[in-house]
Each structure stands twice: as structure tokens, then as C-alpha cells.
Amino acid sequence: MVYAERPKITPSYLRAMGIPLVKGRTFTWADNDKAPLVVVVSEALVRQYWPNEDPVGRRVSIDTQNGKPVWRQIVGVVRDTKHDDLAEQVRPVIYVPLAQSPLPYLALAVRGHGDLAGLAAAVRREVTAARPDQPLFQIKTLENVVSDSLSRRRFQTLLLGLFGAVGLILAVIGIYAVMSFSVTQRRRETAIRMALGARQGQVLVNVMCQGLILVLAGTGIGIGSALALSRILSGMLYGITALDPATFTIVPALLIAVALLACYVPARRAVRVDPMVALRYE
């Protein structure tokens, strides 16, 4: 017996949901309770049970009747899809014709264009016309379904973003404080250099190079920690990998740029002080 998700669908479901056919065929209205039992399977199920074979034409059993397995023929293979959450792992799926295995309740999928509010009203009107006693509830667009599935991770991402912003601000304040203290401690040295003919640009570069060493050391430690924690965070990411090259390039570059700016402000202030005033102060 094959174990997998078993959604029961009508022939139009796969087309309405945009799930492409890989091989074989999809269901038709002829696949009813009087026709041979058939199923359509996903690529994940094929990889699990027939990795190097053509599954079309094979038989599978997903349930029993009177203690004996009920066999159904595979007539097609479709692409993998995620039914509940974008972050979930792809699971094997066996699609069963609704006409061959009826349900007491249904989920209606409608594909349309234009005004979605108007489309929802039209669907409600047609269902009511066909079955006045049929309740219709939880009408949602696919965009809303996707958004709801991501709401928890969106909140987590927002919190991480806020913590990251706070960390960036604290890092900038810390670098600025350290550089200001370092420049203040070297005020006499800077004044002597300026009095002996050193140019402002030379002194400025010297001070910023010292700050750059600290920045690069901190960035290296941060990247190493991020790489170590990437596996823990991988389950919270969507659309990028835990070792996404763009993330590990752009973010450190941004941090270095911000840190250099924090170094530049106190260094610029130090080289603009008159050397004689600084020496008299000392």
C-alpha cells in the first residue's frame, strides 16, 4: 500500500490551480464511478517509489475494501506543489477523481481574471442557483491563502529585522564611541603630525585605517557566527538559501560602509582642529 496525501479532485482542479502535467494524462469527466479506478501522482511520489522507471500504467493501492487492497491505475504525473504552507517540505501526493471517491464537503477552486470581488460574487450566485441549500464560506483568493500561510514567519522576520536594526545602531554607536575615544587619546600625536607638515588627508587616512581594522575584524567574526547559525535559521527562510551569496555579500558591505562613516566623523573633526590650539590644550 502506498502512503501519501490523497486529495480528491474534479478534472478541472489541476488546470485551475496551475499544476502542470509532466507525463500521461489528467482526469476527464469519464473517470466516474463506472470507469476503472485511476489516479494521478506527483513527482515526489515517483521519486520515492519509481525513481528510474515510468510510473504511468502501474497500479497502486491506497485503501482497502473488505480487507483486500483496492488497486488503481496511474494515468499521469504532475509537478510537485505545496498545499498548506510555502515553508513545508514537498510531500508525495496521489490525486483521486472525486467521482470515484465522493466527499460530503468540497473546496471549490475557481480561476479568473479582473475584479476578484466581482468574481467571488459571481461564484456565490452560481452556487446558490445550482444548490440553494449549499452553504458557501471562507471565500479567499490564492494570494490571501499564501499570505495567511506566511503570517507567522512574516512576524518572525519583522522581529529579526528589528533586532538587526537595533544591533546595527548599537554597532555604529560603539564604533563611533571607540573611535572618538581613540582620536581624543591621540590628540597630541595628531597635533604634532600636523605641526610637522602632515596633511589633513594623510592623518585622516591613518585614523580611518585603524578603524577599518576593527571593522573588518568584527565583520569577520559576524560572518563566521552567521555561517555557524545558518542551519538553525534555514527553516525560517523562503526564497533564499541559508548560505545565500547575495546576503553574505551585501550585508557585510553595508555594515562596513556604515562603520567607516562612523569612523570618518570623529577623524574629520580631529584633523580640522588647529595644531597649536591642540598642543596648548595638552
CB 164 within 8 A of CB 177: no
Q: Which of 260, 234, 261, 232 is nearest to 247 (CA)?
A: 234
273 phi/psi in degrees, rounded to 5: -75, 135
Q: How far is Cα 208 from Cα 188, in angstroms, rounded to an integer? A: 17
pLDDT band at residue 239 using 50, 70 and 90 as cut-offs: low
- pLDDT, residue 64, reads 86
Grade residue 35 by pLDDT with cuts at 50, 70 and 90. Answer: very high
Global confidence as pTM: 0.59
Between CA 44 and CA 51 the distance in angstroms is 9
Return the bridge partners of 211, or none: none
Alpha carbon 99 to its chain's center: 37
36-45 confidence digits (pLDDT tens):
999 999 999 9
> Residue 162: how many CB atoms within 10 A of its CB?
10
Q: What is the pLDDT of residues 244-278, one digit of tens each?
A: 777 778 878 877 787 777 777 777 777 776 666 55
Strand (E) or helix (H) holding 62: strand 59-65
- pLDDT, tens digit (0-9, with 9 covering 90-100), for 148-173: 777 777 888 788 888 878 887 887 78
* Environment class of 52 (CB within 10 Å of its CB; exposed 0-12, middle 13-18, buried 19+): exposed
pLDDT tens, residue by residue, 91-130 = 899 999 999 988 877 888 888 777 776 777 888 888 888 8
If phi over 0 gives left and psi between -120 and 50 gives alpha, with beta otherwise, what is residue 32? beta
